[in-house]
Structure 1
């Protein structure tokens, strides 16, 4: 594998500035991850705050129980033993669960997490354990129920798990059946390329899915299968055992809710004043907390809470609580509560000695809203390590790039124009020029002819004008048909061009946001992951082309 740095602008202006000009946005964040002193200062602060976090032993007990079920590996058990020690720190990153691990960016986030933990441990001379936070509490089923694999022409095809209950319940509580599993596994197997590794990985995916009753559990088993050997510790944020430990933090969020809202609103104004759009909604009456309500048919619905008339309620008014009632419910039923995107960072910080957190560009942008909220609860915003970014360039795609003399930027920025230019260069008929000349000559002949008709009848020019539009429309139709005929003559070349774009920038988006990781794991096996984890970490989250 040959690795070549290649710029890929972030899809969020604020994240782009964070990664490439930190000084200009430093007031919105806390520490510059490229400064070695950042890690020393952060570690010292965490050591001083050990007493303020959830008790370490209880947390490790909870993580041990979860990982023995989903991620049983000797290296993981070693990580958990280290985490019991008071000098062990963590690197934390997370994602909502995805079908068959979801798009490549999930794998790249894990790779960044492991490499960053390894790098920090070497720099500080103390253990740093990688922890991956699975957001099982998230309830957007349509975000996690599908994935994409290329078909035989290279075009990405969506594979989707249909579910009658998906959409309102946390993903960790949305039960999947053998029927759901068989449906998507059939589609996935049909599209996964035939390689020496295919049968092995299909069997693995089948095993992980059938041992799970929800997508979060299957996701954890799949990540454990791929990364457990590197000591990656997993957690599901919706695990009941974890919720029990989180009760003191939920109490703080409820008791300090008005101050937290003020902090989020102040940060929102600060972001706007700096010239950026907020990447998460900050409502003046928002409680930034979810309540999971179970109706009469035992369907769990995750409701976002708001503050109205001294009470906490949801938009539909399905539930209404006083602050005292909410605090009592936290004590009795912590499993009914979950964070939103703005309070989740506070929960993470309250649980773990977070040396740094791994975030994608969208997450970096909305974390700018949280710095003052950390301070409100007596916490410190952790350093943010941008997720590393990659585009895999397979050998056949590399050959096509050379053949057509194209670069990655050509595909990303101007592919449609290049495709049209190439087609025009192939045909000798000069169709655009000839049809343009035909329309010019027609107009030149038609105009004086119509003027003469006015002497016969004054209404005829109007009819002639309508007729002219119809004739020009027919000329345009013949032009399009002629161009289509030329495309048919050169469809092999066009297919090759399209295959480059399908592979490197499907649907006009970065490859890592679309294509499923098992497309490449199936092709190259686990040695591909080994190669990724042998790279030097890039604390700026730079993008690289991986020539296979």
Structure 2
């Protein structure tokens, strides 16, 4: 295995907001609490230790013990759950939707970043314990976002009518997806392992929550990963005071709205990731996850006939808190209320919306966690690495836009010089003399001289492009090979991790895949990792 690293801002795939955050741009400091560094974690540990109570730990331990009753967890995972009762134990969290068969490859990177950071913090602060957490987004209702995965250009999709929280969905019908997938991947030892994993996860569990928990546990329990389902009555009881503040005082709406205004003032290049609502909770009932809205002092649930007075809604919160489901604005607060958490690890889009939330946490008197951009990686096989070496394509070249990559390599391998820079400089020198002459004679000629310079430079540009185009035609085979290898590594001209499923690489590397990634990914490096697999 060969590992190279590139700065995120040199890849072209990360927003200016995220690149500025990684660079610790001072103008973003008001939007976060502590930067993800060992020194930053030292202060975060002390703050969370003081704010997270024994009672919260007891409730968390009891709930997780119930959630794990039917799970064949590793000894390390069981030990980590027990350690959560101790006041020197803290969590590192990532969250993800219940994507079919893990969905995109970066599902693995998020969890591995979490596992590796927990290990790194244990080395730095051996007197404390650090537990990696995967938060399952069981209450999401965006079924179309999770009902498929890609494999070698094919889309394996679960066609089903669905409504309400996806975690409650029956796995009925997934045998059809399994059969298609099984008939596609062959009969090698690694293929058989994949088939058994899919079958055990989805065909032997009744709902998507249990299936996803089984899958993540099978992949990562050896590293002590603890899987949390927030759709839990006992855990949500701890959230009730904060639900009231959101619904009746609209604290999140006011604070996030103000932060968005500040964010937009900082830079026109900063895109607002999510916008708050006056009420940031849904109501769960009978296969429906309906948004709660207020009108003339009453509270209604969209897509239902349900309505409540304020008093009735308070009674509902206190007696059936499991029916209140936080949206993307409120869920981060829920997580931090029920976990002794130090850090949230997420993709660029997730970190962007977390950067909108600090003032809400302050108003709610809940410590704001450290935010860490998850590891991103490009996996290159031996065969692909050989092609790149023969074509003399560097790792940084791969991240160029395809047209730029082709132009760069054609210039390098062409037996004629396609760079007209010397001619342009000579032209500029000639026109300098003409400008001097015009200044000394008739300044009205300056405009004419300028126009002629622009015209001749455009002429040189046109000749250069025409020559480059001719060379591309002449070197057509090389252009095709360049295009093919980049398209392999960047499907749809996007990051590999956003398109491919782990199954493609599991077929090649089997059970060594995850240990290889665990060894390669360093969460606090804050770089993009290029891994050449061997």
> How does the TM-score come out when normalised to structure 1?
0.79
Partner SS, residue 119 of structure 2: helix
1:516 corresponds in structure 2 to 501
Q: 2:339 aligns with which of 352, 357, 378?
A: 352
Is the 8 Å Cα contact of residues 71 and 228 (structure 1) preserved in structure 2? no
Q: Map 1:255-404; keep pairs closer than 5 Å.
A: 255=248, 257-275=249-267, 276-283=270-277, 286-294=278-286, 300-314=287-301, 318-404=305-391
Name the residue aligned to 1:2. 2
SS of 2:367's equivalent?
A: coil
Question: Are residue 13 (structure 1) and residue 16 (structure 2) matched?
Answer: yes
Residue 38 of structure 1 is matched in structure 2 by 40
Structure 1 position 70, deviation (Å): 3.8
Distance 1:219 1:374, change over 3 A: same
Which of 153, 161, 164 is the equivalent residue of 2:158?
A: 161
When structure 1 is superposed on structure 2, of 130-139 and 230-239 the one drifting more is 230-239
Partner Cα separation in structure 2 for residue 526 and residue 41 of structure 1: 38
Going from structure 1 to structure 2, the CA distance change for 1:246 and 1:282 (only over 3 Å counts) comes to closer
Q: CA deviation at 1:360?
A: 1.0
Instruction: Name the SS of the counterpart of 1:526 in structure 2.
Output: helix
Please give the alpha-carbon distance, in whole angstroms, between the structure 2 residues aligned to 1:308 and 1:12: 38
* SS of alignment partner, residue 218 of structure 2: helix
Structure 1 position 504, deviation (Å): 1.2
Looking at structure 1, the residues matched to 394 and 250 of structure 2 have their Cα atoms a distance apart, in angstroms, of 52
Partner of residue 83, structure 1: 84
* 2:155 is equivalent to residue 117 of structure 1: no
Q: How does 1:198-277 map to 2 (within 5 A)?
A: 198-244=191-237, 246-255=239-248, 257-275=249-267, 276-277=270-271
Q: Secondary structure at the match of 2:283?
A: strand
Q: Distance in 1 between matches of 2:238 and 2:171?
A: 27
Q: C-alpha displacement at 1:401, in angstroms?
A: 1.5
Q: Give 3-state SS (helix, strand or coil) of 2:522's partner.
A: coil
Query: Please, which of 497, 510, 524 is the counterpart of residue 525 of structure 1?
Result: 510
Task: Map residues 171-186 of structure 1 onto 2, 5 A cutoff.
Answer: 171-177=166-172, 180-186=173-179
Distance 1:301 1:540, change over 3 A: farther
Separation in 1 of the partners of 2:413 and 2:48?
A: 65
Distance (Å, rounded) in 1 between the aligned partners of 2:279 and 2:254: 11
Question: 1:268-304 deviations in whole A, cap 9, x for unaligned?
Answer: 1111111222100224xx201111243xxxxx12112
- The whole-number CA distance in structure 2 between the counterparts of 1:250 and 1:207 is 37
Secondary structure of the 1:69 match is coil
In the other structure, the counterpart of 1:437 is none
State the 1:399 CA deviation: 1.5
Q: For the Cα contact (< 8 Å) 2:138–2:165, is it kept in 1?
A: yes
Shift of 1:173: 1.6
Structure 1, residues 391-429: CA drift from partner, whole Å, max 9, x if none?
1001111112122332344443332465699899999xx
Q: How many angstroms apart in 1 are the aligned matches of 2:492 and 2:23?
A: 26
How far apart are 1:310 and its partner, in Å?
Answer: 2.6
1:91-135 residue CA offsets vs partner (Å, 9 max, x unmatched): 111111111111111100000000111111221221011111001
- SS of 1:306's equivalent in the other structure is strand
Sort the Cα spacing of 1:333 and 1:406 in 2 relative to 1 into closer, same or farther, 3 A: same
Q: Partner of 1:392: helix, strand, or coil? A: strand
Is 1:539 aligned to residue 532 of structure 2? no
The Cα of 1:89 is off from its aligned counterpart by: 0.8
2:91/2:342 contact within 8 Å kept: yes
Number of matched residues? 471
Structure 2 counterparts to residues 435-454 of structure 1, below 5 A: none
- Return the offset for 1:20: 2.3
- What stretches of structure 1 of length at least 5 have no aligned partner? 151-155, 295-299, 428-482
Query: How big is the shift at 1:490?
Result: 7.1
Paired residues of 1:71 and 1:220 also in contact (CA < 8 A)? no
* Deviation sequence 1:448-490 (CA, Å, 0-9, x none): xxxxxxxxxxxxxxxxxxxxxxxxxxxxxxxxxxx9xx99x97
Contact map agreement 1:93 1:110 (CA 8 A) in 2: yes
Question: Any residues of structure 2 matched to 1:435-514 within 5 Å, and which?
Answer: 496-514=481-499
For residue 474 of structure 1, what is the aligned residue in structure 2? none
Give, in whole Å, the separation in 1 of the partners of 2:19 and 2:13.
5
CA contact (8 A) 1:10 1:361 kept: no
Contact 1:90 1:352 in 2 (8 A): yes
- Between the aligned partners of 1:313 and 1:250, the Cα distance in structure 2 is 16
SS in 1 for 2:531: strand
Change (3 A) 1:425 1:222: same
TM-score (structure 2 length as normaliser)? 0.81
Q: Please say if residues 391 and 512 of structure 1, whose CA atoms lie closer than 8 Å, have aligned partners that are also in contact.
A: yes
1:47 CA drift (Å): 1.5
Change (3 A) 1:241 1:123: same
Q: CA RMSD in A?
A: 2.8
Q: Distance in 2 between matches of 1:119 and 1:520?
A: 26
- Return the offset for 1:305: 2.2
Whether the aligned pair in 2 keeps the contact of 1:254 and 1:327 (CA below 8 Å) is no
CA contact (8 A) 1:271 1:368 kept: no
8 Å contact 2:171–2:202 — kept in the other structure? no
Q: Structure 1's 392 and 204: CA in aligned 2 closer, same or farther, altered over 3 A?
A: same
